[in-house]
Structure 1
Amino acid sequence: MKVQVCIIGGGPSGLMLSQLLHLQGIDTIVLEKSSRDYVLSRIRAGVLEHGFAELMREAQCGERMDREGEIHHGFYIAHDGKLDRVDLHKYSGGSSVVVYGQTELTRDLYEARDKLGGKVVHNALDVTPHDVASDKPYVTYRTGEEVIRVDCDYIVGADGFHGVSRKSIPQDKLQEFERVYPFGWLGVLSRTKPVSPELIYAKHERGFALCSLRSQVLSRYYVQVPLTDKVEDWSDDAFWEELKRRLPEKVAAELITGPSIEKSIAPLRSFVAEPMRYGRLFLAGDAAHIVPPTGARGLNSAASDIYYLYHGLLDHYKKGDDTGIDGYSQRALARIWKAQRFSWWMTTLLHRFPDRLSYDDKLQDTELAYLFSSEAAQRSLAENYVGLPF
């Protein structure tokens, strides 16, 4: 089999790139190790920055997002028993975010690939890139007992943190930066009306909490927990009680509880691999970088990678101009490190660290007081939250 671009990973990043390139007449194949049902069962973030929403529309996948997605012009930070609102629309120059579940977004991308007859292979086992430093790279994968070879011009690794793509780059050619945080987020999805029409980020002496939503009938809530905790340690009742403790009394009183549809603990990590290109292999999304979910940058950072890759590959095939693909890593990393900074800042601002000093507590309180006394500080937060320009 011969294609122009072989994409490893059938999550939103890989599907988005495949869809955009297909619309421009560039032949791709997507190789995904899991089944479609498994991919669509993963519960992920749902806050889309302005640029991501525009990219969905350009990929002709934004109709349902625009119809069903929640437009949010702000969010709240709960602290010291009160709620302070960050006005994204006011302080970002009129921008906003779209709350639309990643599962639904991925479903839309799959349907778009199906409609165009896109090549998406599920249950592709033992996916392996070969000769990525040469001008004739190829990828092999196994289905049953058959090994299939895909010859291509370029390989895009969008296969996540544990995928094969980054591991295909020689260790002496790759530099990795990482910070693992000493806590995780226990998340619960429930078929209940959200407690607030906008997200609430809560800083509390017992730990961080977040009130989020997927729709007006589907809520997503989180509480900070030690890494030693297990999902089995937390009954639904225990979760709801702990969440209420961390919210202002008025919010807690209005919280509607119910059985959990899904419950999981996600560890928090910051990670960046440099460079994001080696020969004919490009890394994108979680294959190259991870952020804590506090600032809602994970999926959105992946979208900027796809934006740069798409335009770089488009210029290569349509104009014979390699400026975009040659500068991909440098350009993508410049934006990624800004997303890393913002996620680190939000995480440090709102969480209780187990080894904190009383000095650290005072700094957190002072940072929050400054934030809501300074329009410049709120403008900085807002422009990062809605998304820096691509």
Structure 2
Amino acid sequence: MTSPHRTRVAVIGAGPAGLLLGHLLHRQGIDTVVLESRDRGYVERRQRAGILEQGTADVLRASGAGERMDQAGLRHDGIELRFDGGSHRVDFPTLTGGRSVMVYAQTEVVKDLIALRLETGAPLLFEAEVLAVDGIEGDAPTLRYRHEGAEHTLTCDIIVACDGFHGIGRRSVPTSALRTFERVYPYSWLGILADVPPSCDELIYAHHPRGFALHSMRTPQISRLYLQVPPDEDLAAWPDSRVWDELSTRMAVPGWTLATGPVTEKSITPMRSFVAEPMRHGRLFLAGDAAHIVPPTGAKGLNLAAADVTLLAAALTRWHRAGDTTLLDAYSATALQRVWRAEQFSYSMTTMLHTPPDQDPFDHRLQFAQLSYTASSRAASTSLAENYVGLPLPGLEELA
């Protein structure tokens, strides 16, 4: 593919946020170029979350990107909370007016969006490293990037940084123009992928004195499981047998057995919350992990990114069609309302379910009281369910 030099919207990053934004804008007739520093194989193999909120699934369907999701994805109508040797189900449709979530791996979402992008012929450049972002306070910002051994300059009207926490996008905003908020948690997640059918029909969130555990899945044949471990844990200290034994212990309830099988992937992920404000500086907009990080307990990372770019696509569409900047000017404030709601929910789920190091008896009793209330109160269960399935997604009506 030739290296383009002019476009309406330049998108940095071909993760789910950048690809979905490019797809939504293409459908509205807005020229875009998507630049990704990694190769296609890496992007399509990169393992991340696999829980899609109702709104995320809806926007994929509405944009023509949901066919394979509806064929291969797994609709889930609830989650199971396990603590103190018991099990408690939270029924999503009953508590949220029929809403649910979809289990469909991020790798598959990315594959679907890449296939659609390539089918349209719209520019998608892999192994295109952005070297500099300039002119974001003017009317014609530029990206300098390296592709196929040569450096190029891309001039555009708008730049959207969907390039993750460590990307060049947020770093291109003057530090004096950003305010950041961060919380680092005193534990990490040890995650495994295993070639074994799930031992549950819906996700299990387990609180145990030895630490949190989560049973998820990718497909009817592949399980995804997690264990709370210390933040500086050595992965070599966890042979497969130890992982399975610890998962069985932490999720144990009478009459239930955890199925085990070959582990195909194992990793440790740190836990943090992060928000950068505002999510816009001049003609540069931040979306997804470039602007915010949530701990994975609430399954919000991918969904926040999808909400950001759906909102941004609606704002850019109105600007493109009518020259109206109202939604663009409101983008940061509108997106941050949802971001902070998701941050609070993810924080509450994380602190309710994890066992902090050196937890004192008073805090343990408070934690148990919150778990018991959530399991026994319809109001508390409704709050969890509404946040888990996701708030209504803004911007969809603009993209119809």
Q: TM-score, normalised by structure 2?
A: 0.96
Give distance in 2, aligned partners of 1:355 and 1:278.
Answer: 42
* 1:299 alignment counterpart: 302
Equivalent residue letter for 2:100: S
* 1:122 alignment counterpart: 126
Deviations, residues 2-52 of structure 1 (Å, cap 9, x unaligned): 100000001000000000100111000011000110111111110100000
Give distance in 2, aligned partners of 1:321 and 1:290.
Answer: 30
Q: How does 1:192-203 map to 2 (within 5 A)?
A: 192-203=196-207
Out of 18, 38, 41, the position equivalent to 1:37 is 41
Name which of structure 1's ranges 117-126 and 129-138 shifts more when overlaid on structure 2. 117-126
Out of 270, 283, 288, the position equivalent to 1:285 is 288
Q: How does 1:220-369 map to 2 (within 5 A)?
A: 220-250=224-254, 253-369=256-372
Deviations, residues 314-353 of structure 1 (Å, cap 9, x unaligned): 0000111101110000000001000000000000000011
Q: How does 1:43-192 map to 2 (within 5 A)?
A: 43-192=47-196
Conserved? CA contact 2:130–2:143, under 8 Å: no
Give distance in 2, aligned partners of 1:125 and 1:110.
Answer: 18
Give distance in 2, aligned partners of 1:341 and 1:112.
Answer: 35
Give distance in 2, aligned partners of 1:375 and 1:259.
Answer: 39
Out of 4, 15, 20, the position equivalent to 2:19 is 15
Equivalent residue letter for 2:378: E
How big is the shift at 1:59? Answer: 2.1
Deviations, residues 107-135 of structure 1 (Å, cap 9, x unaligned): 00000101111211111124321111111
Give distance in 2, aligned partners of 1:104 and 1:225.
Answer: 28
CA gap of 1:16–1:134, structure 2 versus 1, over 3 A, is same
Give distance in 2, aligned partners of 1:92 and 1:183.
Answer: 32
* 1:374 alignment counterpart: 377
Identity of paired residues, percent? 50
Conserved? CA contact 2:10–2:156, under 8 Å: yes
Give distance in 1, aligned partners of 2:90 and 2:37.
Answer: 41
How big is the shift at 1:145? Answer: 3.8
Equivalent residue letter for 2:128: A
Give distance in 1, aligned partners of 2:33 and 2:258.
Answer: 45
Equivalent residue letter for 1:54: D
Conserved? CA contact 2:20–2:309, under 8 Å: yes
Give distance in 2, aligned partners of 1:282 and 1:118.
Answer: 21
Give distance in 2, aligned partners of 1:193 and 1:214.
Answer: 9
Structure 2 unaligned regions, length at least 5: 394-400
How big is the shift at 1:144? Answer: 4.4
Equivalent residue letter for 2:288: G
Structure 1 unaligned regions, length at least 5: none
Give distance in 2, aligned partners of 1:160 and 1:334.
Answer: 20
Conserved? CA contact 1:4–1:28, under 8 Å: yes
* 1:213 alignment counterpart: 217
Deviations, residues 274-298 of structure 1 (Å, cap 9, x unaligned): 0000000000000000000000011
Conserved? CA contact 1:83–1:248, under 8 Å: no
Deviations, residues 63-100 of structure 1 (Å, cap 9, x unaligned): 00011110000010010111100011111111000000
The alignment partner of 2:228 has SS state of: strand
Q: TM-score, normalised by structure 1?
A: 0.98
Equivalent residue letter for 2:61: R
* 2:386 alignment counterpart: 383
Conserved? CA contact 1:16–1:59, under 8 Å: no
Deviating above 6 A after TM superposition, structure 1's stretches of 4 or more consecutive aligned residues are: none
How big is the shift at 1:181? Answer: 0.5
Name which of structure 1's ranges 160-169 and 121-130 shifts more when overlaid on structure 2. 121-130
Give distance in 2, aligned partners of 1:273 and 1:29.
Answer: 25
Give distance in 1, aligned partners of 2:123 and 2:62.
Answer: 20
The alignment partner of 2:376 has SS state of: coil
Q: What is the aligned length?
A: 389
The alignment partner of 1:196 has SS state of: coil
Give distance in 1, aligned partners of 2:80 and 2:243.
Answer: 21
